[in-house]
Amino acid sequence: MNTNTPVPDYQKQFSKRTVLNYLAAFLSPFGYSGFSAMLFSTYISFVYTEYLGVSAAAIASVVSVGVIVDGVTDFLMGMVMDRVITKWGKVKHWFFLSAVPVAISMYLIWAVPQSAGSTFKIVWAFISYNLFCTLLTTVRVPAQTLPALVTDDEQVRTNLAWISAIGIGIASAAIGWIVSPMLGAMGESIVTFRIIAAICAVGTVIVLVASGLFTTEQRDGSEWKTIKEVYVASNGGKEETVWQQFGNLIKNKYYCRYLLINILQGAGTYFIFGVMAYWVQFVAGDLTKVGIVTTALNIPNLVGAALYILAAKKLSSKQICLYAIIIQAVCAVIMWIVGAKMWTILIVLMFIKSFFGGVTTPTCLVIIPQIADYGEWKTGSRQEGLCASGFMVLEKIVIALATAITGFVLSANGYEGGGVASAQAVSSINFLFLGLPAIFLILGAFSWLLYDLDDEKMARYRAEVEQRKASILEEMNKGE
């Protein structure tokens, strides 16, 4: 008798189903990051201070509060995603529901009347920014959980994470490719940025709908119903409450440790993007160089992601991330020392630093599903949505702090916009762009020493989870 069990499509690396999921993983970052979030994080403060006459401190306050609100909605979306399940599963439907609303909201913030008063512009920015961030959450959280939800095969997850990282790298750089040529062709003005926003909005709709069409999850609605029944049976016949959801997340020690890592790694990154336009304008001396800097910060990620595929064959996820962040920290320190005056050396180091950042990006996308797997072993509750959104909440807090500090530091050092910055303001811009990221990367390297979840432990946890499920289902069937 043939005892070989057929391998399901979602565990095959190159089945039609898996290839379409690869396409979804590649395209979705253009919708939730490249065409949308990167446009905001890179240019919103610059546009409002330079072209709309709003003070740096005021727009920094608006964005900071908005990012905190966005973080709260991220967390809520994680809970909603784990509870609202359709016939397709947890993810697919959100791409269709949110594509058009996200696109409309991302244009609104740039549509503020230029002749309006400063208070009106600030209120407009606050409302439109929060609307955009809230709607973006409804696609970003689901998209970030694709590696965990479309397969349980580690190699397919690795491939998905790699492809997603490539998508993120291209998507992040794409905004520079759009902005720089248009600024050169049409001139630096609010009208140009409105046209750019409209183009990005249309692109967002296209890639999000395509991502939804390509996505097929491992478990459909009926299978998630069974998983829920198993949890209820193991929880004394009670469904998981919201407080239990949160409590089960906190019980996941690897989730908490990884939060610390993300705080330190993320802080440096968001200072860079938050102050990049100012740095290019006032330190490098030419705003059109933003395309070069954006490319140097993002494109090497693609090559770095390829290294991850090779490195993963011999090194653990922790080893890859630790070695990569040490190299990043060294490059960042040297960049801080040489500065913009040694432009060629600076850009080369930026490429190297970004290259090794690309190595860590797909690795981290594999670690998050593993953390969700451990959480199921620890508590019986599977929380892909809440686990992913929890990291996003922290990300928003870091962004808010970075944005607020940037705005207040600039204002405290005499920067008032209008294309003029004092020597003291230029010095502070340089420190925020080059100095702080170096410090945070050094601390991030030390934080990896606290993380010890490896492949051997994961294999044991998964086996025990499956045994537990089989036992509970057997008891449930006997009861019937």
Give the tens place of pLDDT for each residue, 170-195: 887 777 777 778 777 887 788 888 88
CA distance 475 to 271: 54
Task: Give the pLDDT confidence score for residue 98 in this predicted structure.
Answer: 92
pTM for the complete prediction? Answer: 0.73
Specify the long-range contacts of residues 182-190, CB closer than 8 Å, at least 24 apart. 183/287, 183/288, 184/288, 188/287, 189/51, 190/47, 190/51, 190/52, 190/110, 190/114
Q: For residue 93, is pLDDT > 80?
A: yes
Task: Give the pLDDT confidence score for residue 479 in this predicted structure.
Answer: 58
Q: What are phi and psi of 89, to 5 degrees?
A: 125, -140
Q: How confident is the model at residue 478 (pLDDT cuts 50, 70, 90)?
A: low
Q: For residue 289, is pLDDT > 90?
A: no
Give the tens place of pLDDT for each residue, 15-54: 999 999 999 999 999 988 877 777 776 778 888 888 888 8
Task: Give the pLDDT confidence score for residue 1 in this predicted structure.
Answer: 39
Task: Give the pLDDT confidence score for residue 400 in this predicted structure.
Answer: 66
Task: Provide CB contacts within 8 A for 24, sequence distance 6+.
Answer: 146, 210, 211, 212, 214, 215
* Mean per-residue pLDDT, 92-101: 94
Task: Provide CB contacts within 8 A for 15, sequence distance 6+.
Answer: 9
By the 10 Å C-beta count (0-12 exposed, 13-18 middle, 19+ buried), 101 is classed as middle
Give the tens place of pLDDT for each residue, 315-333: 878 888 889 999 999 999 9
* Mean per-residue pLDDT, 265-272: 76
Query: In order of start, what are the domains of the chain with their CATH numbers?
Result: 16-217+245-468 (1.20.1250.20)
Which of 366, 318, 364, 301 is closest to 147 using CA atoms?
Answer: 366
Task: Give the pLDDT confidence score for residue 307 in this predicted structure.
Answer: 76
Answer whether 132's CB lies under 8 Å from 105's CB. yes
Task: Give the pLDDT confidence score for residue 104 in this predicted structure.
Answer: 92
**194 is written with which tokens?**
């409105």
Q: For residue 336, is pLDDT > 90?
A: yes
> Residue 116 belongs to what H/E stretch?
none
Percent of the chain residues past pLDDT 70, beyond the cut: 95
Give the tens place of pLDDT for each residue, 384-403: 888 777 777 776 677 667 76
Task: Provide CB contacts within 8 A for 26, sequence distance 6+.
Answer: 163, 164, 166, 167
Q: For residue 235, is pLDDT > 50?
A: yes
Amino acid present at 386: L
* Mean per-residue pLDDT, 71-80: 84
CA distance 312 to 314: 5
Helix (H, G, I), strand (E, B) or coil at 89: strand
The chain-wide mean pLDDT, for the chain, equals 83
Range in 105-114, 138-147, 291-300 with the lowest mean pLDDT:
291-300
**94 vs 24, 99, 214, 220, 257, CA distance in Å?**
13, 8, 13, 15, 29
CA distance 415 to 425: 6
Q: For residue 346, is pLDDT > 80?
A: yes
**13 is written with which tokens?**
């690396």
**273 vs 266, 311, 415, CA distance in Å?**
11, 28, 18
Answer whether 86's CB lies under 8 Å from 221's CB. yes
Range in 151-155, 220-224, 303-307 with the lowest mean pLDDT:
303-307
Give the tens place of pLDDT for each residue, 141-160: 899 888 888 988 888 888 88
**479 is written with which tokens?**
């009861």
Give the tens place of pLDDT for each residue, 424-473: 888 888 888 899 889 999 998 888 888 888 778 888 888 888 788 777 77
Helix boundaries (H) for 290-383: 290-298, 300-311, 317-338, 343-379
Task: Give the pLDDT confidence score for residue 246 in this predicted structure.
Answer: 83
